[in-house]
Amino acid sequence: MIPRRNEQSSSGILSSSSLNMIYPFMNGRSDGKKEMKALLGGKGANLCEMARCGLNVPPGFTITTEVCQYFYRNGQKLPDAVLAGIRASVGLLEESTGQRFGGSPDNVLLLSVRSGAAVSMPGMMDTVLNLGLNDSLVEGLAKQRGQRFAYDCYRRLLQMFGDVVLGIPNEEFESCLRMVRSRTGAKLDVELQEQDLKEVIQQYKQVYTKHNQTLPIDPWDQLYMGIDAVFRYSISCCVMF
């Protein structure tokens, strides 16, 4: 059965009454519960429960195990209804945070995609952080949050996207990072400064070029590809601010 598009309830949270497709959690509200691990995965179910209890969790949404099952039946492709539901859910995140995903560089919203399952699966779960950056938007984020924060977010996106989504060996990125740390005398990543992180970013891009790959410029392409990649290795998928 192909899930139909979620309808938006009067409370502003997408209703999942008939489709079991997407469960948002934010601002003390969610239709998900801790007992729904089979549908939402352990991480998604617990985040929904914490939101319901009023705990301060980052807003986000969980794409259910039923969507993952359809994903595999459909040749590892998400149906249009799910893509529409994702866009609507991101719209709710934008309303909640006052930021824009893939929009103005003056108010950048970054998203993370995390895998989930009903039972903990150590070593099998994948994460892609900071989806929504490109060469232009990182400069806007630098004005918002400072250069070091922005460039560190960007290098993490390049590394995780390259590894999890594009299948580039993570060791190639780690090797670049070690070389820059060695040159600067930094023992830890947090000791790298803005110019050091810019150098790491350029080296990461060279790794992409070596593998005939590029990071998609469009943040929406990044998000959809990130969700596809996480679904390939997990049972449910959680997208968070």
The per-residue pLDDT for range 13-33, each reduced to its tens digit, is 433 333 478 999 998 889 999
Map residue 111 onto helix, strand or coil. strand
Q: What's the mean pLDDT in 45-69?
A: 92
Q: Which residues of 148-184 are buried (b: 16+ CB within 10 A; e: fewer)?
A: bebbbbbbbbbbbbbbbbeebeeebbeebbeebbeee
Please tell me the least confidently modeled range out of 21-30, 120-129, 132-141: 120-129
Question: How far is Cα of residue 1 from the mean position of the Cα atoms in its chain?
Answer: 26
pLDDT tier for residue 3 given thresholds of 50, 70 and 90: very low
Structure tokens at 27: 């601002």
Query: What structural domains and CATH numbers belong to the chain?
Result: 7-122+230-240 (3.30.1490.20), 135-210 (1.20.80.30)
Task: Residue 112: count other Cβ atoms within 10 Å of its Cβ.
Answer: 20
